[in-house]
């Protein structure tokens, strides 16, 4: 089955984002909420999940489970974005409006992923 190019774009974005978890893990550990254990392991696991799910959306047999996985992953990532808003250090000295934008962007990304369940 042939999918629209923007589905492959979405998959590529997740693969690239996942790879960066392995290239720059300290950047991701810095924004992890303090109440979560084993930051480094969680950063690597989330990166691996992004890579696997990004690849998974490109194949008919794994597209829908991957989209559901991406949706749950993005919902979990809301914890990080809320933590970034509540902690100056985790907020990376970014302006509050940008942190709010990133939080709201999560919902756009969730919609974008769920959009492809109909294909």
**18-64: per-residue pLDDT in tens?**
999 999 999 999 999 999 999 999 999 999 999 999 999 999 999 99
Smallest CA-to-CA distance from 54 within 99, 100, 24, 21 is with 21
Q: Which residue has the tokens 């996942």?
A: 18
End-to-end CA distance of the chain: 9
Q: Tell me, what's the pLDDT at 25? A: 97
Region 105-117: mean pLDDT is: 96
pLDDT tens digits, 75-96: 999 999 999 999 888 888 899 9
Q: Tell me, what's the pLDDT at 68? A: 98
Q: Tell me, what's the pLDDT at 1? A: 66
- Tell me how far apart the alpha carbons of residues 87 and 104 are, in angstroms, rounded to a whole number: 18
* pTM, 2 dp: 0.92
């Amino acid at each position: 089955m042939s999918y629209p190019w923007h589905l492959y774009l979405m998959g590529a974005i997740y693969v690239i984002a996942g790879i960066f978890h392995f290239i720059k893990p300290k950047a991701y550990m810095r924004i992890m909420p303090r109440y979560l254990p084993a930051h480094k392991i969680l950063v690597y696991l989330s990166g691996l999940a992004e890579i696997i799910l990004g690849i998974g959306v490109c194949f008919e047999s794994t597209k829908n489970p991957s989209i559901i996985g991406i949706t749950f992953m993005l919902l979990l990532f809301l914890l990080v974005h809320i933590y970034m808003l509540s902690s100056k250090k985790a907020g990376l000295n970014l302006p509050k409006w940008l942190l709010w934008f990133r939080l709201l962007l999560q919902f756009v990304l969730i919609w974008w992923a769920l959009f492809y369940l109909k294909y």
